[in-house]
Chains A and B, each alone.
Chain A
Amino acid sequence: MRTRQKVCVVTFSDTHEAIAFEERCHARGFPGRIIPTPQSISAGCGLAWLIPPGETLPVKDVGAYEAIHEVTLWL
């Protein structure tokens, strides 16, 4: 059952930054996944990193990013 949930997403200045961030998260077992940047956010890149509800991510330790936003998504 899909529900609307508030989550945090990390945005990037370009696609290479997003893909590099994804690779580092996977390598270090950090939670989350790549999603298309929600339309409510203005960002330099069309890909964003979704931090699952209830999870935390040491964003600054992972690598370069643009900003962190709170959005509501169907999850």
Chain B
Amino acid sequence: MVQVNAIGDTCPIPVIKAKKAIEALTGADTVEVLVDNDFSVQNLLRMAHEIGAKASAEKTAEGNFRVRMEIGDAASKLENIPEDCLVPAAGRKKRTVVAVTSKCMGSGDDTLGASLMKAFLFSLTQQETLPDTILFYNGGAYLTTEGSASLDDIKTLEAAGVEILTCGTCLNFYGLGEKLRVGGVTNMYAIAEKLLTADLVIRP
């Protein structure tokens, strides 16, 4: 067994230390990480889950936490794990995702809804704090494609660092595959992951 002392370390240091310990293993083994805060426990358990390692956590007599990870062939999956706080700690910037599911904002009159959506996307460009990601799916896919009245706004957001992603299945369904004009194409696994790991999801 390999023991890692991350007492006194804050996120993401315990995850980085655990990754290094796992990478140094030459075969199946157990890695035990000592930490002193619940956020680190959550991050380590999340990392173990991501690489398919069995993991458990317990409180020690000293009031710290011991996270045990049974590493089989899990080390090979480590390269996909970011050295980042997978679970947000207090004070960290919230990860915000905007999910645009339609050409219209709200339900009711579609002409009004389309105008409201255009106004909403423009409003985003006027904010001091921008979202991390905007996902466009189902009818929302029309907004990132040729002919969209919001293309310039979405390009402005992308240039300012906002990740712009459109559902590839939706582009295909609506015959828009060749008409995407801003951002990248994504799939449902990535959409689910973005929504699940966001601190805040906004659906206009």
> A residues near B, CB below 8 A?
1-2, 15, 18-19, 22, 33-36, 46-47, 73-75
Contacts and interface: CB of A to CB of B under 8 A. Distances in A.
Interface string B108-119: 000110010011
Contact of B119 (A2, A35, A75): A35
Interface in B71-126: 111-112, 115, 118-120, 122-123, 125-126
Contacts, number: 33
Contacts of B160: 2
Interface of B: 111-112, 115, 118-120, 122-123, 125-126, 149, 156, 159-160
Contact of A18 (B115, B123, B159): B115
Which secondary structure characterizes the binding site on chain B?
Answer: helix
Closest 3 CB pairs of A and B: A36-B119, A35-B122, A74-B126
Contacts of B126: 73-74
A19 B112 contact: yes
A33 B149 contact: yes
Nearest to B122: A35
Contacts of A19: 111-112, 115
A33 B119 CA distance: 9
Given A18-B115, A19-B115, A22-B115, A36 B159 contact: no
